[in-house]
């Protein structure tokens, strides 16, 4: 079967039928890739998407079919995944799977890389990075790996930073291989060299590449060494991404330093990212990791650094977002100079204190990785904007200890005043001290 037709009806393994719909007035297909075509269909009374595979494009079609069936039975790791929900029966030696349609408000990640879309704020950008990291951390903890991570796997809402992860048909359990190695510019060097097959660790390399694209809008391994007068050959690509990869910002090896021809965006954005984010990239793309001598950076490390970065965003009165230096000072693009007076000092984190600053469950709940649930917000008195307090948004009872040793309980909706050396205990001896900058 070369392709499906409008109105065509197919049966599924769940004993349902799907009907092929027209994607738009002038277009039958929603999209097309190397493995197959995506159609809009009606499935169980809802409009859904159907990925229909090209015949003879799978190395082991039966194994591929059974793996998708298994993933359907397991269920999606998080709501971020546009996960398969049903499979068609075999038709002319091929098949397809049903998944949710991309909702309104989401665009291809590639549009951002081509400067056709942009995030409305730094907070939205960092939220996107957090959501991508969280999605793959959850997937890996569920015992699966993605195997083909690249820039075509994401739909992003550029206003909120919400992310949807698509093309989940290659997801497999640890130790299993779909036969798909991935895209060369995104796969780990050890795969490009032929040393190993995709697994969780190689996923983590690909994740670091995606994050670098997201934050620096260039490829981390494409610098001076990748410029050629003639066409780039397969041998060149194997060297760039496999046998001799060099990070463009490697402090020990400057052979592949960024140049305007390949890395103009990265040259502008690298210094804008905080030092602790830059250090993670330097670690992720170190020679030792590029040559398989050290394990890849764990998702939780990215999560901690990105939460810290988001927490340090300070909005100026003009609306611009700024990041104070270690002393708490910044100069906005509008010319306004400002100094953040204090910060919350946790055991493993520090959060600047300013009106509107938000704490999340990952700050106030010991062991939590929840970066979405707001648990506290810094507010000011109406009659004294310089007097700040921390509003309790949780059901937990906090304990405020003032500098003179007196204590006060703070329940939901109550405000703990902010003063030098005050301590706020959130739960289970997890506390923050208010420290002057």
Domain layout of the chain by residue ranges: 9-99, 107-302, 314-436
**Residue 19: pLDDT over 70:** yes
For domain 107-302, the CATH superfamily is Transferase(Phosphotransferase) domain 1 (1.10.510.10)
- The answer for residues whose C-beta is within 8 angstroms of residue 216's C-beta and 6 or more apart is 265, 266, 269, 270, 273
Q: What is the pLDDT of residues 370-388, one digit of tens each?
A: 999 999 999 998 888 889 9
Residue 366 is classified by DSSP as: T
Task: Give dist(CA 135, CA 304) in Å, integer.
Answer: 15
**Residue 369: pLDDT over 80:** yes
The predicted pLDDT at position 173 comes to 79
The predicted pLDDT at position 180 comes to 64
Dihedral over Cα of 416, 418, 423, 426: its sign: positive
**Residue 188: pLDDT over 70:** yes
Q: Map residue 36 onto helix, strand or coil.
A: strand
Q: Map residue 210 onto helix, strand or coil.
A: helix
> Exposed, middle or buried by CB within 10 Å (0-12, 13-18, 19+), for 131?
buried
**Residue 324: pLDDT over 90:** no
In the predicted model, what is the mean pLDDT of the chain? 92
The predicted pLDDT at position 330 comes to 86
* pLDDT band at residue 2 using 50, 70 and 90 as cut-offs: low
Most confident of 144-148, 241-245, 348-352, 427-431: 241-245
CATH dotted code for 9-99: 3.30.200.20
Task: Give the other-Cβ count within 10 Å of 394's Cβ.
Answer: 20
Q: What is the pLDDT of residues 283-304, one digit of tens each?
A: 999 999 999 899 999 999 999 9
Give the rounded percent of residues in the chain with a pLDDT score beyond 90. 72
Average pLDDT value for residue range 136-165: 93
The torsion region of residue 57 among left (phi > 0), alpha (psi -120 to 50) and beta comes to alpha
Alpha-carbon torsion angle 321, 326, 327, 330, nearest 10: -20
Cβ 84 vs Cβ 169: under 8 Å? yes
DSSP codes, 313-354: -EE-TTS-EE---TTSEEE-TTS-EEE--EEEE-SS-EEEE-
**Residue 7: pLDDT over 60:** yes
Q: Measuring CA to CA, which residue among 211, 412, 176 is closest to residue 301?
A: 211
Task: Give dist(CA 270, CA 250) in Å, integer.
Answer: 12
Q: H helices of 254-298, where?
A: 260-269, 275-284, 287-290
**Residue 1: pLDDT over 60:** no
Dihedral over Cα of 143, 199, 82, 370: its sign: positive
The predicted pLDDT at position 169 comes to 85
The predicted pLDDT at position 178 comes to 60
> Exposed, middle or buried by CB within 10 Å (0-12, 13-18, 19+), for 47?
exposed
Q: Which CATH class is domain 314-436?
A: mainly beta
The predicted pLDDT at position 182 comes to 67
């Amino acid at each position: 079967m070369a392709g499906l037709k409008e109105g065509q009806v197919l049966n599924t393994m769940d004993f349902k039928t799907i009907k092929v719909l027209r994607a738009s007035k002038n277009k039958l297909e929603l999209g097309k890739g190397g493995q197959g075509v995506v159609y809009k269909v009606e499935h169980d009374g809802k409009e859904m998407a159907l990925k229909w595979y090209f015949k003879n494009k799978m190395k082991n079609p039966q194994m591929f079919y059974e793996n998708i069936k298994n993933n359907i039975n397991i269920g999606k790791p998080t709501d971020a995944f546009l996960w398969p929900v049903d499979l068609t029966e075999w038709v002319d030696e091929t098949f397809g799977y049903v998944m949710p349609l991309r909702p309104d408000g989401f665009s291809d990640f590639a549009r951002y890389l081509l400067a056709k879309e942009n995030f409305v704020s730094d907070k939205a950008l960092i939220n996107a990075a957090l959501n991508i990291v969280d999605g793959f951390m959850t997937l890996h903890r569920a015992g699966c790996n993605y195997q083909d991570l690249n820039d075509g796997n994401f739909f992003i809402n550029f206003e909120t930073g919400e992310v949807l992860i698509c093309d989940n048909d290659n997801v497999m359990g640890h130790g299993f291989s779909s036969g798909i190695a991935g895209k060369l510019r995104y796969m780990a060097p050890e795969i490009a060299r032929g040393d190993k097959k995709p697994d969780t660790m190689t996923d983590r390399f690909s994740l670091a590449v995606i994050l670098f694209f997201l934050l620096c809008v260039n490829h981390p391994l494409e610098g001076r060494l990748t410029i050629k007068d003639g066409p780039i050959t397969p041998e060149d690509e194997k060297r760039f991404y496999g046998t001799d990869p060099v990070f463009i910002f490697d402090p020990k090896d400057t052979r592949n330093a960024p140049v305007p021809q390949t890395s103009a965006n990265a040259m502008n954005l690298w210094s804008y990212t905080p030092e602790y984010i830059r250090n993670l990239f330097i670690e992720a793309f170190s020679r030792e990791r590029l040559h398989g001598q050290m394990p890849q950076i764990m998702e939780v490390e990215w999560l901690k650094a990105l939460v810290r970065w988001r927490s340090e965003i300070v909005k100026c009165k003009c609306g611009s977002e700024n990041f104070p230096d270690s002393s708490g000072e910044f100069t906005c693009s509008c010319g306004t100079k400002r100094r953040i007076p204090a910060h919350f000092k946790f055991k493993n984190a520090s959060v600047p204190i300013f009106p509107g600053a938000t704490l999340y469950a990952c700050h106030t709940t010991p062991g939590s990785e929840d970066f979405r649930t707001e648990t506290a917000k810094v507010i000011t008195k109406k009659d004294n904007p310089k007097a700040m307090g921390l509003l309790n948004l949780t059901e937990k009872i906090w304990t405020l200890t003032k500098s003179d040793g007196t204590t006060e309980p703070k329940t939901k909706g109550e405000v703990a005043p902010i003063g030098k050396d005050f301590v706020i205990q959130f739960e289970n001896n997890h506390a923050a001290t208010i420290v002057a900058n």
